[in-house]
Amino acid sequence: MIKNLLSRYNFHYPKILVYMLQASEYNIRDYFIWHWRVKNFKRVEQRKHFVKTAKSLLLLAAAWLIIISIIGFAVYFLWLGALNKILFFLIIFIVPYILAYIIIIPLLIIKLIQWPIEYVIIYKARQRLKNHKAVKIAIAGSFGKTTMREILKTILSEGRKTAAPSLNYNTPIGISRFIKTLADDEEVLIFELGEYYPGDIKKLCNLVQPDMGIITGINEAHLQKFKKIERTIKTIYELADFLGDKPLYVNGENELAKNNAQSKHIIYSREGVGKLKIINQKTDLSGTSFVITNGNIEVELKTNLLGLHQIGPIAAAIDIALKIGLSFEQIKNGVSKIKSFNHRLELKTDSAGIITLDDTYNGNPDGVNAVIEFLAGLKNCRRFYVTPGLVEMGIKTEEVHKQIGKKLAEANIEKIILIKNSVTSYIEQGLRENNYKGEIVRFDDALSAFAALPHLTVKGDIVLLQNDWPDQYQ
Amino acid sequence: MIGQTNINKKNIAVIFGGQSAEHDVSIITAHIPIIQSLLAVRQFDVWPIYIAKDGSWYCDKAMNELAYFKQNNFETLLAQQKKIRILFDNGLKIIWPGIISKTVQIDVAFPAMHGTFGEDGSLMGLLRMANIPFVGCDLFASAVAMDKVLTKQVVLAEGIPVVPYVWFTKNDWQKNKDIYLKKIDELKWPLFVKPVHLGSSIAISKVKQKTELENAIEVAFHYDDKILVEESVENLIEVTLPIIGNDELQLAAIERPLNKTDFFDFSDKYLSSGGKKNSGANSHYSEIPANIDKELAKKVEEFGKKTYYTLGCSGIARIDFLINAVDKKVYVNEINTLPGSLYHHNWRKVGVSGVELVTKLVALAEDNFIQRKNINYAFNSDILKKTGGQKNQN
């Protein structure tokens, strides 16, 4: 209690506030929701730290200016005799509480200055894209966008000059900055559209002007922000509204995406897409293979990506590649070159012979189901499933996590390692209700779990790291 | 900050450091894997007892982190620590003295000390007197294994082959140098000169010419007062076999260290880890399992088990072998009653994780303790009454 109180009177407190703003991407609402939940401010910076940028340093300077001004005025009025001592100490006492709110004023001023600058950058980017001859493909969805982007980029690059923002540049300003770097001779441009609030996708479509689109799926990711799943659906389907009769691919393996698709939309899944049919799907630790048929043509394809759930997006990419004019030979090459992406079911084998599947960037229910399905198919090895659970599931939190417990129990995963927090008890409940027979090990934080893992595992074990909680959800 | 006590967990003391040439190696063994694995079990309250180079005892949970010992201001930090006291009172208690003193009753001890005062049986003697369960070999096995000559004498008596050797003390050497030089001359050269009590291959030399011999002996005497000169094995394959158990033995994989130099010396064993982190005192430059004939492997396992029984090892030990690849002769070279980092890298390869290893060792220690308790050491007699006393003046 006292520790919590004192954490506000720490020298680093102003920096922690700015860090919280920065980690919330300067979204004031997200910042306040986080701030109201924090009890001990010394424990905020756990996984990431304050990053020095012009904006963050300016805010930090403003924060100190605010503190010094308040204290300075208080001392001045005390000296004048206009303030009694009790009131003086009261003012000093509430400084950190006021600061958390007043810090928003300089932020708003910065935003006010930034807004016209950003508007010009975005406007210029939009004009440039309008005149750009490339085929523009937009990807929207609650999950799987980055994977889809990478698959498309790798395959299409076999026959066309293809470009896509390399990082998670999925906001108007991020995309505009990427557009500035274009050489203008690109033949295909791929964009991820990030959705945080209703209207986001529409805004991005206006900027990108896509010629075709892909909806990778809709689920409870970001439900905390959208409140209702219907709003998520509506927001993501803003892409369909914009495209009209232009081609839109929809993931048929995701119920919400599929159920909201119209007949003109193209459904893709591990079974095929349009006229393309897929057979002989196989997956193990060495990769995934399948045969794609188009009338009389049969092509066997192999990728390093793990899991049958990867086949659907690859099929969609193949269909787009054929539309753009790539040959099956080029496609086959492209598929074989797809690499696993950082922290997305990425396989690493260490010197002790332990296989780690790093899936720490996967924090959505569909992705989790796909991974558990993959683990269930692995034979003759001991499987460890390490997770802190998923974030931003809103009212679905309990249901989603119980479901994860159920799936893990059904897959007979030998060891479940839980990094304890508000949701892990639901996973345990799900495990218990489905007669889980393996072992559950609980850790208080991710670092102690990661430190213990080398001592829990032996050669041949498979360790799956599922999702990683950023600081705002601890 | 000494650390919080947790009443629901078993108090386990990991004892490491010590006045030994292998002080630093012991710190590594204690942390990787022992403390880290014990913490991962989550059923133990781990108390790290650090014995400094000057022999002072310290205990602070901050020492559960290996990083504590790597700090630049380590000496200063240590100087600020309270030295602990130990008390034999219905078991072993550690006490932090002071106005508000703190006492913790230790349930199990986990010695992690290499070399003198730790691995040589001294610490085990102390723990026997404290009457608590402790992990690993007991006093007798530790003391014999610490003396390479005694080891050879004991195993040879049970028909286990060892390499021909000559031994002498500093005093013997000074008085009867010629006799020993003659004895040494009868051995097949090249030879190894070894201090009898030191581990980690410290001060061992390979002698190829007579001119080098006396110098090598002088070097060895610098570290020990008992020396062993033994034949080197031709077409050498060195292998080692970690074993755990009391009566029922479990073998790890036969491991072949892939030497860089003529023999496996201190820096090979502990320093040339190729920059790999967190691998402990032994790392991955070995062949596991060793690529040797089935027949040889069978012999190694047979001699390994026999040696373990002969010395009366318990808990854990590692037997080193020398093999002549051509004539297929297998010799027991030495026994290590606390293998560096418990050879956990090897156990992991045969399916025993660090957590399983330490849990098993603690269970073995407790079994051993129960057995020891059932032996009656006390004996009631009236000898005192009958002896001496004041003589009747009448």
Same structural domain for residues A144 and A224? yes
How big is chain B, counted in residues? 394
Q: Is the pLDDT of residue B209 over 70?
A: yes
CA distance B106 to chain A (A): 23
Q: Is A349 on the interface with B (CB under 8 A)?
A: no
pLDDT band at B272 (very low <50, low <70, confident <90, very high): very low
> Which two structure tokens, joined as six digits, stand for B82?
């309270």
The residue with greater pLDDT, B21 or B37, is B37
How far from A438 is each of A435, A457, B44, B232, CA to CA, in Å?
A: 9, 15, 22, 51
Q: Is the pLDDT of residue A63 over 70?
A: yes
Closest CA to B141 of B316, B296, B329, B372: B316
CB nearest A456 (choices: B345, B350, B353): B353
The angle that helices A104-130 and A172-180 make with each other, rounded to 10 degrees, is 50
The residue with greater pLDDT, A25 or B392, is A25
Instruction: Give me the CATH number covering residue A145.
Output: 3.40.1190.10
The residue with greater pLDDT, A445 or B379, is A445
Same structural domain for residues A157 and A278? yes
pLDDT, tens digit, 9 for 90 and up, residues A204-238: 999 999 999 999 999 887 777 778 889 999 999 99
CA pair distance A301, B292, nearest whole angstrom: 42
Q: How many domains does chain A have?
A: 3
Same structural domain for residues A201 and A324? yes
Q: Is the pLDDT of residue B322 over 50?
A: yes
Give domain status of residue A119, yes or no.
no
CA pair distance A105, A112, nearest whole angstrom: 10
Cis peptide before B289 (omega within 30 of 0): yes
Q: Is B349 on the interface with A (CB under 8 A)?
A: yes
Dihedral angle sign, alpha carbons of residues B237, B242, B246, B250: negative
- pLDDT of res. B275: 36
Rg over alpha carbons for chain A, rounded to the nearest Å, is 25
Q: Is the pLDDT of residue B370 over 90?
A: yes
**Which segment, A251-255, A389-393, B284-288, is predicted with the most confidence on average?**
A251-255
pLDDT, tens digit, 9 for 90 and up, residues B44-89: 999 999 999 999 999 999 999 999 999 999 999 999 999 999 999 8
Query: CA-CA-CA-CA torsion for A391, A392, A396, A402, nearest 10 degrees?
Result: 0
> Which two structure tokens, joined as six digits, stand for B274?
């190729």
- pLDDT of res. B37: 95
Same structural domain for residues A385 and A449? yes
Average of per-residue pLDDT across A77-83: 85
First-residue to last-residue Cα distance in chain A: 18
Those residues whose C-beta lies under 8 Å from the C-beta of residue B333, and which sit 6 or more positions away, are: B162, B163, B238, B320, B321, B322
Residue B308 is classified by DSSP as: H
Q: What is the DSSP string of A55-74?
A: HHHHHHHHHHHHHHHHHHHH
| Residues A339 and A117 sit within 8 Å (Cβ to Cβ) | no
Same structural domain for residues A194 and A144? yes
* Domain span holding position A104: 2-112
From A320, A337, A354, the end of a domain falls on: A337
From A288, A316, A337, the end of a domain falls on: A337
- pLDDT of res. B382: 83
Chosen for mutation from B35, B353, B357 (greatest number of chain A CBs closer than 10 Å) is B353
Burial class (CB in 10 A: 0-12, 13-18, 19+), A26: middle
Same structural domain for residues A96 and A213? no
Look at A457 and B348 and tell me if their CB atoms are within 8 Å.
yes
Give domain status of residue A175, yes or no.
yes
How far from A204 is each of A138, A239, A247, A390, CA to CA, in Å?
A: 9, 9, 18, 27
B274, closest residue in chain A (CA to CA):
A351
Q: Are strands A346-349 and A355-359 parallel, antiparallel or unpaired?
A: antiparallel
Look at A458 and B351 and tell me if their CB atoms are within 8 Å.
yes
Residue B181 is classified by DSSP as: H
CA pair distance A285, A349, nearest whole angstrom: 11
Same structural domain for residues A366 and A303? no
CA pair distance A284, A374, nearest whole angstrom: 8
pLDDT band at B390 (very low <50, low <70, confident <90, very high): low
Q: Is B348 on the interface with A (CB under 8 A)?
A: yes
Same structural domain for residues A225 and A248? yes
| Residues B304 and B251 sit within 8 Å (Cβ to Cβ) | yes
Average of per-residue pLDDT across B360-377: 91
pLDDT, tens digit, 9 for 90 and up, residues A116-154: 998 999 999 999 999 999 999 999 999 899 899 999 999
pLDDT, tens digit, 9 for 90 and up, residues A457-466: 999 999 999 9
Those residues whose C-beta lies under 8 Å from the C-beta of residue B147, and which sit 6 or more positions away, are: B196, B197, B226
pLDDT, tens digit, 9 for 90 and up, residues B120-176: 899 999 999 999 999 999 999 999 999 999 999 999 999 999 999 999 999 999 999
pTM of structure: 0.76
Look at B349 and A452 and tell me if their CB atoms are within 8 Å.
no
Question: Residue B350: its chain A contacts at CB < 8 A?
Answer: 458-459
Question: Residue B40: its chain A contacts at CB < 8 A?
Answer: 451-452, 455-456
- pLDDT of res. B273: 40
Closest CA to B150 of B307, B285, B261, B302: B307
Give domain status of residue A78, yes or no.
yes
pLDDT band at B271 (very low <50, low <70, confident <90, very high): very low
Least confident interval from A34-38, A248-252, A361-365, B281-285? B281-285
A459, closest residue in chain B (CA to CA):
B349
Look at A452 and B355 and tell me if their CB atoms are within 8 Å.
yes
Average of per-residue pLDDT across B365-387: 85
Look at A454 and B278 and tell me if their CB atoms are within 8 Å.
yes
The residue with greater pLDDT, B85 or A24, is B85
Q: Are strands B236-245 and B226-231 parallel, antiparallel or unpaired?
A: unpaired
Chain A residues 449-468 within an 8 A CB cutoff of chain B: 451-452, 454-460
- pLDDT of res. B392: 53
Closest CA to B283 of B82, B95, B48, B33: B33
CB nearest A455 (choices: B276, B284, B354): B354
| Residues A468 and A388 sit within 8 Å (Cβ to Cβ) | yes
CB nearest A457 (choices: B36, B278, B353): B353
Q: Is B188 on the interface with A (CB under 8 A)?
A: no
Strands (E), A409-471: 415-419, 439-443, 462-466
Instruction: Give me the CATH number covering residue A434.
Output: 3.90.190.20
> Which two structure tokens, joined as six digits, stand for A437?
């027979």
CA distance B347 to chain A (A): 8
pLDDT, tens digit, 9 for 90 and up, residues A173-210: 888 989 989 998 999 999 999 888 889 899 999 999 99
- pLDDT of res. A445: 86
Bridge partners of B117?
none
Question: Residue B39: its chain A contacts at CB < 8 A?
Answer: 448, 451-452
Same structural domain for residues A387 and A299? no
Give domain status of residue A183, yes or no.
yes
Per the listing, tokens 């064993």 go with B269
First-residue to last-residue Cα distance in chain B: 68
The angle that helices B294-311 and B139-146 make with each other, rounded to 10 degrees, is 120
Bridge partners of A94?
none
CA pair distance B288, B258, nearest whole angstrom: 10
The residue with greater pLDDT, B260 or B105, is B105
How far from B262 is each of B238, B322, B331, CA to CA, in Å?
A: 11, 13, 18
- pLDDT of res. B262: 44
Q: Is A85 on the interface with B (CB under 8 A)?
A: no
Q: Is the pLDDT of residue A169 over 80?
A: no
- pLDDT of res. B240: 96
From A316, A337, A358, the end of a domain falls on: A337
Same structural domain for residues A408 and A468? yes
E strand or H helix that includes residue B178: helix B170-185
| Residues A265 and A232 sit within 8 Å (Cβ to Cβ) | no
Q: Is the pLDDT of residue A437 over 90?
A: yes
Same structural domain for residues A155 and A291? yes
How far from B299 is each of B50, B160, B235, B327, CA to CA, in Å?
A: 39, 11, 17, 13
| Residues B227 and B214 sit within 8 Å (Cβ to Cβ) | no
Instruction: Set out the domains of chain B in order of their start, with CATH numbers.
Output: 10-136 (3.40.50.20), 164-230 (3.30.1490.20), 236-374 (3.30.470.20)
- pLDDT of res. A471: 64
The SS3 assignment for B234 reads coil
Give domain status of residue A126, yes or no.
no
Question: Residue A454: its chain B contacts at CB < 8 A?
Answer: 36, 278, 354
E strand or H helix that includes residue B301: helix B294-311
Same structural domain for residues A393 and A452? yes
CB nearest B349 (choices: A442, A456, A459): A459
Give domain status of residue A123, yes or no.
no
C-beta atoms surrounding A49 within 10 Å: 12
pLDDT band at B200 (very low <50, low <70, confident <90, very high): low
| Residues A390 and A365 sit within 8 Å (Cβ to Cβ) | yes
Give domain status of residue A122, yes or no.
no
The residue with greater pLDDT, B52 or B280, is B52
- pLDDT of res. B391: 54
